C-alpha cells in the first residue's frame, strides 16, 4: 500500500577537517555544501564552528579575533549560498555579539536565503582541552525550532547533546529534526582505553533523543587531528526509532546523504506515545539542582 501521507526529504551531514585559515575553511565548506545540493539534499548541516580550528584547547585572548557578528561576512555568505542552491542550511559559528560578549551560535537559513533564526549554545563545558567557558556566554534564546521549507528544525550544539532536557524542550517546540553541530574527539591519553566506549556513549545518547522524542537526529562532527585532540568523526543520522540510517568513518571527510520520511514521526509517536503519557504535573523537581533525599520520601 502506498503511504499517501509520506513526506520525504533528503538530509546531508557534512563531516570535514579544518585548517587555521578562516577563508580556506569557508571555501571548503561552500564546496561541500554545493556537492550536497547537487546530489539532491534539501537540508544541509555543518559541524560545530566550521570556519576555524577548534579554539578552546587553550585560553588565549587572541582567539576572540576569530569571532564575527551576525549578520556578518560568514553568516551573510552562507545565507546567499542557501538561497542560490535552494536548500535549508544549518551552520555553527563563533559569534561576537558585543565587546566582551561571545556565543557559540547556530544559524538556520531557509531556501530563499532568509535567516529563520539563531540558537545560542546553552550548555557550556569546561574540561581539559575544551575550555569553552573562557570563550562563550551561555545562550539566552532558550531551546528553539524553526519552520523551513523542508520541515521544522531544532538545533542544539555539541555539549547540549548530553542533556535530555534540551532535546525534550526543543522537541516540544515542534521540531521534527534535531541537528547537533558537534566538535568531539579523543584525548590522546584516553583513546586506547576509553575511546570506543566514549564514542558509543555519544551515539547512544543521541539515539535516545530520537526515541524519547520521536524525531530525526542529525549529528555532523569534525574529523582530523587539531592540537591535542583527534576529532573522531563518526557523524550519523538516526530516525524516530533510534535506528542509525547512515554513519561516517572516524578518519575521512564525508558527506552523508539520507532520505527521511517525516510522516514517520507521527507513526512513531502514536505507537510509542511518550509525549501523551508524560506526567507534566510531577516534574517540578527538574527545576531544582538536586533533590534532598530527606524531603523526597
Question: Would you name the residues annotated as active-site residues?
Answer: 48, 121, 158
Q: What is the DSSP code (8-state) at residue 48?
A: T
Q: Side-chain half-sphere of 286: how many Cα atoms within 13 Å?
A: 11
Instruction: Find where cell 520520601 sits.
Output: 297
Q: How far is CA 258 from CA 13, 23, 236, 290, in A?
A: 9, 29, 10, 40
What is the full DSSP assignment across 94-137? EEEEETTEEEEEEEEE-TTS-EEEEEE-----EETTEEGGGT-P
Contact assessment for residue 179 and residue 154, using Cβ atoms and an 8 Å cutoff:
yes
3-state secondary structure of 148: strand
Instruction: Find where cell 583513546 sits.
Output: 191
Q: Copy the grid coordinates of residue 257.
A: 546523504
Q: What is the DSSP code (8-state) at residue 150?
A: T
3-state secondary structure of 297: coil
3-state secondary structure of 177: strand
Contact assessment for residue 275 and residue 34, using Cβ atoms and an 8 Å cutoff:
no
Q: Copy the grid coordinates of residue 168.
A: 525534550
Amino acid at each position: 500500500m502506498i503511504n499517501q501521507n509520506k513526506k520525504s526529504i533528503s538530509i546531508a551531514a557534512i563531516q570535514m577537517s579544518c585548517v587555521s585559515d578562516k577563508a580556506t575553511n569557508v571555501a571548503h565548506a561552500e564546496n561541500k555544501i554545493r556537492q550536497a545540493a547537487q546530489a539532491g539534499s534539501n537540508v544541509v548541516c555543518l559541524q560545530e564552528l566550521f570556519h576555524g580550528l577548534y579554539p578552546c584547547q587553550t585560553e588565549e585572548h587572541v582567539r576572540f579575533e576569530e569571532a564575527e557578528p551576525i549578520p556578518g561576512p560568514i553568516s551573510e555568505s552562507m545565507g546567499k549560498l542557501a538561497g542560490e542552491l535552494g536548500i535549508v542550511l544549518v551552520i555553527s559559528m563563533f559569534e561576537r555579539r558585543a565587546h566582551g560578549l561571545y556565543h557559540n551560535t547556530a544559524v538556520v537559513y531557509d531556501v530563499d536565503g532568509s535567516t529563520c533564526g539563531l540558537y545560542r549554545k546553552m550548555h557550556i563545558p569546561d574540561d581539559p582541552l575544551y575550555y569553552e567557558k573562557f570563550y562563550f556566554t551561555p545562550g539566552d534564546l532558550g531551546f528553539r525550532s524553526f519552520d523551513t521549507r523542508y520541515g521544522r528544525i531544532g538545533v542544539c550544539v555539541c555539549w547540549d547533546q548530553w542533556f535530555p532536557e534540551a532535546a525534550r524542550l526543543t522537541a516540544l517546540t515542534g521540531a521534527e529534526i534535531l541537528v547537533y553541530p558537534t566538535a568531539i574527539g579523543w584525548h590522546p591519553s584516553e583513546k586506547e582505553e576509553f575511546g570506543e566506549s566514549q564514542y558509543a556513549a555519544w551515539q547512544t545518547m543521541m539515539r535516545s533523543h530520537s526515541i524519547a522524542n520521536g524525531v530525526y537526529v542529525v549529528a555532523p562532527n569534525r574529523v582530523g587531528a587539531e592540537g591535542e585532540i583527534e576529532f573522531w568523526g563518526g557523524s550519523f543520522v538516526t530516525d524516530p526509532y533510534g535506528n542509525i540510517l547512515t554513519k561516517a568513518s572516524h578518519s575521512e571527510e564525508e558527506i552523508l546523504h539520507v532520505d527521511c520520511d517525516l510522516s514517520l514521526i507521527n507513526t512513531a509517536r502514536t505507537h510509542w506515545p511518550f509525549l501523551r503519557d508524560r506526567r507534566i504535573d510531577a516534574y517540578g523537581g527538574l527545576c531544582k539542582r538536586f533533590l534532598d533525599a530527606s524531603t523526597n520520601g
